[in-house]
């Protein structure tokens, strides 16, 4: 899945619409259903987690990847000043979280030292 979409949905969930949140919950519910062995449990999960709302189903009509990409693009377009994309100052990779201070790709650390400079 797209790293940027995961980042935005994970850390900026509050910027998703109600239908997008319901669609995301449906995706999570469908994943739980796939793992469940008991048919009764599957039905209970389906009734509690998977939306039948036509607007929600329309968001999922083209698959999970298209849904995540659509949410990513909409949030970035409509809320550019509310989303902080935390990129590594050395290699430019997207950090794991908006507050991370170490790159998971090149392992560079930009924690401030006593002089206010990043570790080198």
Q: Which helix (DSSP H) or strand (DSSP E) does residue 5 occupy? A: helix 3-11
Residue 48, pLDDT score: 76
Residue 39, pLDDT score: 78
In the chain, which residues have pLDDT < 50? Answer: 114-116, 120
Residue 43, pLDDT score: 75
Helix (H, G, I), strand (E, B) or coil at 118: strand
Residue 35, pLDDT score: 82
Residue 116, pLDDT score: 46
């Amino acid at each position: 899945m797209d790293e940027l979409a995961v980042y935005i949905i994970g850390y900026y969930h509050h910027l998703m619409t109600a239908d997008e949140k319901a669609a995301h919950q449906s995706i999570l519910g469908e994943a739980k259903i796939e793992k469940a062995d008991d048919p009764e449990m599957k039905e209970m999960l389906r009734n509690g987690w998977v939306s039948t709302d036509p607007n929600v189903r329309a968001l999922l009509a083209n698959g999970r990847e298209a849904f995540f990409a659509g949410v990513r693009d909409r949030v970035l377009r409509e809320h550019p000043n509310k989303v902080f994309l935390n990129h590594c100052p050395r290699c430019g990779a997207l950090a794991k979280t908006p507050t991370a201070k170490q790159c998971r790709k090149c392992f560079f650390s930009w924690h401030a030292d006593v002089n206010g400079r990043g570790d080198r």
